[in-house]
Chain A
Amino acid sequence: MSLLIKNAIIINADRMHKEPQDILIEKGTIVKIGKGISADGTKVFDAAGKLVFPGLIDMHVHLREPGREDKETIETGSRAAAKGGFTTVLCMPNTTPVIDNAMIVEAILKEARRVGLVNVIPVGAITRGQNGEELTDMFELKQAGCLALSDDGKTVGNSRLMRLAMEYSRMTGLFLIEHCQDPDLWCKGVMNEGDVSTVLGLKGDPGISETVIVGRDIELARYLNARIHLAHMSLKRSVELIRFAKSQGIAVTAEACPHHFTLTDEAVKTFDTNTKVNPPLRTREDVDAIKEGLKDGTIDCIVTDHAPHTAEEKEMDYDHAPYGMIGLETAVGLTVTELVEKKVLSWTQMAERMSAAPARIAGLANKGVIREGADADITIIDPEKVWEVRKEDIVSKSKNSPFIGRKLKGAVVTTIYGGKITYQSS
Chain B
Amino acid sequence: MTTEWTHKDLLDVKDLSREEIELVLETAKSFKEVSARDVKKVPALRGKTVVMLFFENSTRTRASFELAAKRLSADTINISAGGSSLSKGETVLDTARNLEAMNIDAIVVRHPSSGVPDVLARHLKAVVINAGDGCRAHPTQALLDLFTIKEKLGKIDGLKVGIVGDILHSRVARSNIWGFNKLGARVTVCGPSTLMPPGVEKLGIKVTNDIDELIRESDVLMLLRLQKERQENQFLPSVREYAKRFGVNQERLKQAKKDIVIMHPGPTNRGVELSAEVADGEYSVILDQVTNGVAVRMAVLYLLLGKGKSKVEEGNV
Q: A residues 168-195 with Cβ under 8 Å of B?
A: 193-195
A270 to B174, CA, bound (A): 18
Q: Which of B61-69, B108-116, B263-271, B289-297 contacts A (4 or more CB under 8 A)?
A: B108-116
Contacting residues, chain B, for A201 (C-beta < 8 A)? 114, 133-137, 171, 174
Candidates A194, A270, A316; contact of B92 at CB < 8 Å? A316
Contact with A along B135-161 (1 / 0, CB 8 A): 111000000000000000000000000
Residue pair B136, A202 in contact (C-beta under 8 Å): yes
Q: Which of A110-118, A252-260, A317-325, A384-392 contacts B (4 or more CB under 8 A)?
A: A317-325
Residue pair A317, B92 in contact (C-beta under 8 Å): yes
A198 interface contact, C-beta 8 A: yes
A197 interface contact, C-beta 8 A: yes
A271/B112 contact (C-beta < 8 A), A194-B199, A312-B91, A315-B91 known: no
A319/B113 contact (C-beta < 8 A), A199-B174, A201-B135, A201-B171 known: yes
A195 to B200, CA, bound (A): 7
A6 to B203, CA, bound (A): 60
B83 interface contact, C-beta 8 A: no
A327 interface contact, C-beta 8 A: no
Contact with A along B169-181 (1 / 0, CB 8 A): 0010010000000
Contacting residues, chain A, for B79 (C-beta < 8 A)? none
Nearest Cβ in chain B — how far from A173, in angstroms?
43
The residue in chain A whose Cβ has the minimal distance to the Cβ of B89 is A312
B198 interface contact, C-beta 8 A: yes
Contacting residues, chain B, for A200 (C-beta < 8 A)? 114-115, 136
Residue pair A193, B92 in contact (C-beta under 8 Å): no
A317 to B111, CA, bound (A): 9
A204 interface contact, C-beta 8 A: yes
Count A interface residues, CB 8 Å: 20
Candidates A202, A204, A271, A316; contact of B198 at CB < 8 Å? A204
Which of A194, A197, A317, A320 has the largest count of B CB atoms less than 10 A from its CB? A317
Q: A residues 68-88 with Cβ under 8 Å of B?
A: none
Contacting residues, chain B, for A271 (C-beta < 8 A)? 114-116, 118-119
B202 interface contact, C-beta 8 A: yes
Contacting residues, chain A, for B111 (C-beta < 8 A)? 317
Q: A residues 267-281 with Cβ under 8 Å of B?
A: 270-271
A205 to B113, CA, bound (A): 16
Nearest Cβ in chain B — how far from A320, in angstroms?
7
Residue pair A198, B115 in contact (C-beta under 8 Å): no
Contacting residues, chain B, for A318 (C-beta < 8 A)? 113-116
Contact with A along B83-97 (1 / 0, CB 8 A): 000000001111000
Nearest Cβ in chain A — how far from B118, in angstroms?
5
Residue pair A198, B199 in contact (C-beta under 8 Å): yes
Residue pair B197, A198 in contact (C-beta under 8 Å): yes
Residue pair B93, A315 in contact (C-beta under 8 Å): yes
Contacting residues, chain A, for B136 (C-beta < 8 A)? 199-202
A331 to B119, CA, bound (A): 28
The residue in chain B whose Cβ has the minimal distance to the Cβ of A314 is B91
The residue in chain B whose Cβ has the minimal distance to the Cβ of A268 is B115
Contact with B along A291-328 (1 / 0, CB 8 A): 00000000000000000000010011111100000000
Candidates B134, B198, B202; contact of A319 at CB < 8 Å? B134
Candidates B114, B119, B198, B203; contact of A194 at CB < 8 Å? B198
A197 to B200, CA, bound (A): 10
Contacting residues, chain A, for B14 (C-beta < 8 A)? 199
The residue in chain B whose Cβ has the minimal distance to the Cβ of A195 is B199
Q: B residues 94-139 with Cβ under 8 Å of A?
A: 94, 111-116, 118-119, 133-137
Q: A residues 223-240 with Cβ under 8 Å of B?
A: none
A204 to B136, CA, bound (A): 13
Residue pair B134, A198 in contact (C-beta under 8 Å): no
The residue in chain B whose Cβ has the minimal distance to the Cβ of A204 is B198
Contacting residues, chain A, for B197 (C-beta < 8 A)? 197-198
Residue pair B198, A193 in contact (C-beta under 8 Å): yes
Nearest Cβ in chain A — how far from B194, in angstroms?
12
Contacting residues, chain B, for A199 (C-beta < 8 A)? 14, 136, 174, 203
Contacting residues, chain B, for A204 (C-beta < 8 A)? 198
Nearest Cβ in chain A — how far from B7, in angstroms?
17
Q: B residues 40-71 with Cβ under 8 Å of A?
A: none
Nearest Cβ in chain B — how far from A273, in angstroms?
8
A198/B203 contact (C-beta < 8 A), A317-B113, A318-B114 known: yes
Contact with B along A92-129 (1 / 0, CB 8 A): 00000000000000000000000000000000000000
Contacting residues, chain B, for A206 (C-beta < 8 A)? 198
Query: Which residues of B approach A to under 8 Å, CB–CB?
Result: 14, 91-94, 111-116, 118-119, 133-137, 171, 174, 197-200, 202-203
5 cross-chain CB contacts under 8 A: A197-B198, A199-B203, A200-B115, A270-B118, A319-B114
Apart from A198-B203, A202-B114, A271-B119: 18 A-B pairs, beta carbons within 8 A:
A193-B198, A194-B198, A194-B199, A197-B197, A197-B198, A198-B198, A198-B202, A199-B174, A201-B114, A201-B133, A201-B174, A202-B136, A315-B91, A315-B94, A316-B91, A316-B92, A317-B92, A319-B114
